[in-house]
Amino acid sequence: MGKLDGKVAVITGGSTGMALAGARLFVEEGAQVFIQGQRQEALDDAVKIIGRNVTAVQGDAAELDDLDRLYDTVKRKKGSIDVLWAGAGMGEPALLGEITEEQFHRAFWLNEPHDRKIKVNVLTPGQVATAKQEELFDEVTKAEFEFPHPRGKMDRRGEVATVALFLASDDSSDVNRLELVTDGGTTAI
């Protein structure tokens, strides 16, 4: 018996990185998973990696029409959502006082949930090894990212996924409005 048997999970940004690792784990734990991502090729690859009980819906989590299409797909196929992992997120560097209204709205619509009177927790990862880092960073830059980490290495996507599984499962039924930092202790030093 899995921790998410019979649950319907929706994961935005679910075609790569931590969210993909989470989607894979959620399926292993019994969930039917819907993933959303911007690039169809990455979604197709993710479906192959996950293997079963997954539906990919191409779209941008910052676009309301795309979110409506995602929700309509879930509603048509499963009826409702039990778990929402807003894995799509972004940040844009800007100086305080110089942030434009457009920048604020882009970040707000992508990163902050609306008040729906549902349980909301924040999973804040530390340095996580990603495919994008492998693509962009040389060995010196990777070492600089790993240096401050108490274990001497960045977390792996699967480590974050297991914490997300806890938050998505009934094991966390009394956990609400919590920021759970999964950084191996980096913020403590």
* Greater pLDDT, 123 or 68: 68
Q: How many domains does the chain have?
A: 1
d(CA 19, CA 150): 24
In a domain, 3, yes or no: no
* Greater pLDDT, 134 or 65: 65
In a domain, 2, yes or no: no
In a domain, 13, yes or no: yes
Secondary structure class of 28 (helix, strand, coil): helix
Q: What is the CATH number of the domain that holds 82?
A: 3.40.50.720
Bridge partners for 59 per DSSP: none
In a domain, 164, yes or no: yes
**Domain limits for position 183:** 8-188
* Greater pLDDT, 157 or 56: 56
Whole-model pTM: value is 0.71
Please give the pLDDT value at position 127: 75
